[in-house]
Amino acid sequence: MSAGYVIPHEQIGEWKLPSRGLVGMTCLVIAESAIFIIFVVAYLFYTGKSLTGPTPRDVLETPWLASICLISSSITVHFAVHDLRLSRIRRFTSWLAATVVLGTIFIAATALEWYDLIYHRGLTISTNLFGTTFYSLVGLHGSHVIVGLLMLGLTLLFALMGKVNVHHAERLEVISIYWHFVDAVWIVVFTVVYVVGR
């Protein structure tokens, strides 16, 4: 009996289970949301509690262009997945390229904003509570954008090398869930930092 019991194998109708990639990414999104919630709570808790200046009203400018770029990249990545599923590789590649470009514009805009804040407006992470919470929340989000861009950029590279086909649609969808999540988080961060926090 070294093989143990053999359970009789019977036919049990259709047995379908969810895709592990999607489930895994959903779990990651839940865990990441919890991290962001804590940072958002800290930001809101410390709003207006800085002992010294500068205040958000003094130095922050609403990043409309960057926000529009990032939000639209959510739409372009959606079309990229859609086209890959239909095996329209050329259209998929262009949508993916557009996503990467839009994401890069967002990161570049954030970099310029930070440069301006640090060198011209005298706000660093150690200036006051606002600086600490601002750079950590926006920075945490920015680092997620960078990770997303790396994944999308790598996919784009493979696509340009002609190595991506319809069988990879589910994997791209997993990445796109992450990217949608990053966008959704930006809507929250944007509201908290540039609307409520000011």
Partner 1 sequence: MATQTQIRVNPALQRGWLDHVQDWVTTVDHKKIGLMYIAYALFFLVIAGVEAILMRIQLLVPNNTFVSPQVFNRLFTMHGTTMVFFVGMPILFGFGNYLVPLMIGARDMAFPRLNAFSFWIAAFGGLLLYFSYFAGSGLYGAGTAPDVGWFAYAPLTARVFSPGHSTDYWTLSILISGIGSIGTALNIVATTLCMRCPGMKLSRMPLLVWLYLVTSGLVFVTISPLTAAQIMLCIDRYLGGHFFDTQAGGSAVLWMHFFWIFGHPEVYILVLPAFAFANEIIPVFSRKAIFGYPAMVAASVGIGFVSLSVWAHHMFTVGMGAGPNAFFTFSTMVISVPTGIKIFNWLATLWGGNIHFTTPMKFAIGFLFQFLVAGLTGIMLSVSPFDWQLGNSYFVVAHFHYVLVGAILFMIFAAFYYWYPKMTGRMLSDKLGSWHFWLFLIGFHLTFDFMHVPGILGMPRRIYTYEADRGWEIWNIIVSSGAVFQAVATLIFVWNMIVSYFKGEKAGPDPWDAWTLEWATSSPPPSYNFATLPTVESRRPLWDRKHPEEPDAQYE
Q: Does 161 bind partner 1 (CB under 8 A)?
A: no
Q: Does 46 bind partner 1 (CB under 8 A)?
A: yes
Q: Does 53 bind partner 1 (CB under 8 A)?
A: no
Question: Would you list the DSSP string of 140-191?
Answer: HHHHHHHHHHHHHHHHHHHHHTT---GGGHHHHHHHHHHHHHHHHHHHHHHI
Q: Does 35 bind partner 1 (CB under 8 A)?
A: yes
Residue among 97, 98, 109, 129 that touches partner 1 (CB under 8 A) = 129
Residue among 71, 89, 140, 146 that touches partner 1 (CB under 8 A) = 140
Q: Does 146 bind partner 1 (CB under 8 A)?
A: no
Q: Does 47 bind partner 1 (CB under 8 A)?
A: no
CA angle (145 as vertex; 116, 186 as ends), nearest 5: 75
Q: Does 55 bind partner 1 (CB under 8 A)?
A: no
Rounded least distance, CB 182 to partner 1, Å: 16
Q: Which residue, among 46, 32, 64, has the nearest Cα to 140 in the 3D structure?
A: 32
Long-range interactions of 15-22: CB distance < 8 A, separation 24+: 19/170, 21/170, 21/171, 21/173, 21/174, 22/170, 22/173, 22/174, 22/177
Residue among 133, 142, 179, 183 that touches partner 1 (CB under 8 A) = 133
> Of the ranges 30-38, 149-157, 177-185, 186-194, which one interacts with partner 1 (CB under 8 A)?
30-38
Q: Which residue, among 95, 77, 111, has the nearest Cα to 183 in the 3D structure?
A: 77
Nearer to partner 1, 20 or 120 (CB): 20
173, 22 Cβ separation under 8 angstroms:
yes
Q: Which residue, among 86, 84, 105, 85, has the nearest Cα to 95 in the 3D structure?
A: 84
Residue among 80, 128, 144, 169 that touches partner 1 (CB under 8 A) = 128
Q: What token pair was written down for 63? A: 């990043």
Q: Does 136 bind partner 1 (CB under 8 A)?
A: yes
Summarize as ranges the residues that interact with partner 1 (CB under 8 A).
Answer: 1-10, 12, 15, 17-20, 23-24, 27-28, 30-39, 42, 45-46, 49-51, 125-126, 128-129, 132-133, 136, 140
